[in-house]
Amino acid sequence: MSQVPSITLNDGWTMPQLGYGVYQVPPEEAADSVRTAIEAGYRSIDTAALYGNEEGVGKAIAECGVAREDLFITTKLWNDRQGYDEALRAFDESIGKLGLEYVDLYLIHWPAPGQDLYVPTWKAFEKLRADGRVRSIGVSNFQIPHLRRLFEETDVMPALNQIELHPNLQQGDLRSFHHEHDIATEAWSPLGQGKGLLDDGTLGNLAQKYDKSPAQIVLRWHLQLGNVVIPKSVTPSRIRDNINVFDFELADDDLAVIAALETGKRVGPDPDVLGA
């Protein structure tokens, strides 16, 4: 069984540095996939109201035989539920589908700045945290100006920002900002969704050198940078491979080789535009 290190968040709670993401895992497959992941050693699961599979995730949690306190469950509030009262209602729905008493981490999925509701939404998150229904509260896809606004207008700092991050989009400015403010960086699409990135010849060469797959090389790069990662796969052998990344270390010059893969190209939407 692999040993996934934990990181400590700015509110004192800890979370595994590597977890299992379930975006695009069909609802009817979610329970089996999450069960496979838990059997492989994953203890952190990343879902969202948008993914439509919170019930399947909840079923796997209920049936997996691992104690609730040994699991770390993240879900997210979708854009059309922003606003103070609406966010509280949406949380009730999510936690009901998951069948849980509390979630470990609740995230605002996108800032949706055109709606201009993320400040009252965050105040609802602060209440959920104060009520003990959520342990840590965080955001996703927030840019520096959105984070600054939360600092100015609300009381609790986000514990974490989950952002698109992979070797083609390394998010240097946001990562430095997070570091300065003690906000954890969580990488979504850590493998660049597989397409293109994992076929890169540079990664292929490193994979040969370390006797690992390109996906394992990329995940190791994230971990050595200090990112939290949540790779997704529905293929059991890949689910297992993606957590088998704690028995090797990339040399500094190989980290530099991967750093040279930056293109600035997103695989997902622009956070300043989506959900407006």
Name the site residues for ligand NAD (rule: CB under 6 A): 21-23, 46, 109, 140-141, 162, 188-194, 198, 213, 215, 230-233, 238, 241-242, 268
DSSP 8-state symbol, 166: B
Nearer to ligand NAD, 23 or 84 (CB): 23
Task: Report which residue's Cβ sits closest to ligand NAD.
Answer: 21
Can 51 be counted among the known catalytic residues? yes
For residues 173 and 194, what is the distance between their CA atoms, to the nearest angstrom? 24
Q: Which is nearer to ligand NAD, 50 or 85 (CB)?
A: 50
Gap between the terminal Cα atoms of the chain? 44
In the complex with ligand NAD, the residue whose CB is nearer, 71 or 230, is 230
Burial (Cβ within 10 Å: 0-12, 13-18, ≥19) of residue 236: middle
Task: Compute the distance between CA of residue 224 and CA of residue 250 in angstroms, rounded to an integer.
Answer: 8
Kindly tell me which of 120 and 194 has the beta carbon lying closer to ligand NAD: 194
Residues with Cβ < 8 Å from 79, sequence gap 6 or more?
109, 110, 112, 115, 274, 275
* 8-state DSSP, 50: G
Least gap, CB of 155 to ligand NAD (angstroms): 24
Question: How near is the Cβ of 200 to ligand NAD at its closest, in Å?
Answer: 12
Considering the candidates 51, 84, 106, 118, report the single residue annotated as catalytic: 51
- Least CB distance to ligand NAD at residue 132 (A): 24
Q: Please, what is the minimum distance in Å from the beta carbon of residue 276 to ligand NAD?
A: 15
Please give the structure tokens belonging to residue 185.
């960086």
Phi and psi, residue 154, nearest 5°: -135, 175
Give the catalytic positions in this structure. 51
